[in-house]
């Protein structure tokens, strides 16, 4: 399988600074793996990410999905020439989680010149599917 990233030797260490001072950092998201065509990150299920019933908040799942998909989209283009901005996201919440960590895995469905579509699956610690999401981003020329 060929590497999709603009920087072919991309590492987790390259990605970590992108989360500094963002919602992802506030929610405890940590990038954990870069594959040839996917990104992984974890997020704790704790006081920051739960809703009043003590379950993982659907919005927190969507925040993890959008973070993974957006970062993935940005990393397949020449960042000096192009930017990627979210256009649409949807999510199906399939299973509840009360504690522990969830892991999101983002893979591209379509990488085009003007748009990208990413599928993000979120799993609990038992590797049960918790949420599936699809993110569409626009690829725009960076304004000089």
Quick one: tokens of 9?
């030797």
Phi then psi dihedrals of residue 77, to 5 deg: -115, 165
Residue 114: inside a domain, yes or no?
Answer: yes
Residue 7: inside a domain, yes or no?
Answer: no
- pTM, entire model: 0.96
CA–CA distance, 47 with 68 (Å, rounded to integer): 21
CA–CA distance, 18 with 82 (Å, rounded to integer): 16
Positions marked active-site: 66
DSSP lists the bridge partners of residue 137 as 86, 116
CATH number at residue 71: 3.10.129.10
**pLDDT one-digit tens code per residue, 65-101:** 999 999 999 999 999 999 999 999 999 999 999 999 9
Burial class (CB in 10 A: 0-12, 13-18, 19+), 57: middle
CA–CA distance, 130 with 121 (Å, rounded to integer): 8
**pLDDT one-digit tens code per residue, 13-53:** 999 888 899 999 999 999 999 999 999 999 999 999 999 99
**Domains in the chain: how many in total?**
1
Residue 6: inside a domain, yes or no?
Answer: no
**pLDDT one-digit tens code per residue, 1-13:** 799 999 999 999 9
Q: CA dihedral in degrees (104, 120, 67, 70; nearest 10)?
A: 140
- Look up the domain containing 102 and give its range: 12-141
């Amino acid at each position: 399988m060929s590497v999709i990233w603009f920087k072919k030797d991309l590492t987790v260490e390259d990605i970590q600074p992108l989360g500094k001072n963002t919602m992802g950092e506030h929610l405890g998201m940590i990038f954990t793996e870069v594959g040839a065509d996917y990104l992984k990150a974890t997020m704790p299920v704790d006081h920051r990410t739960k809703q009043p019933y003590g379950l993982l908040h659907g919005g927190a799942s969507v925040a993890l999905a959008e973070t993974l998909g957006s970062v993935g989209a940005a990393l397949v283009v020449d960042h000096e020439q192009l930017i990627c901005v979210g256009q649409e996201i949807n999510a199906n919440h399939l299973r509840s989680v009360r504690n522990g960590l969830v892991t999101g895995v983002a893979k591209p469905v379509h990488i085009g010149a003007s748009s990208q579509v990413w599928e993000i699956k979120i799993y609990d610690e038992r590797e049960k599917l918790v949420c599936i999401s699809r993110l569409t981003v626009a690829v725009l020329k960076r304004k000089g």
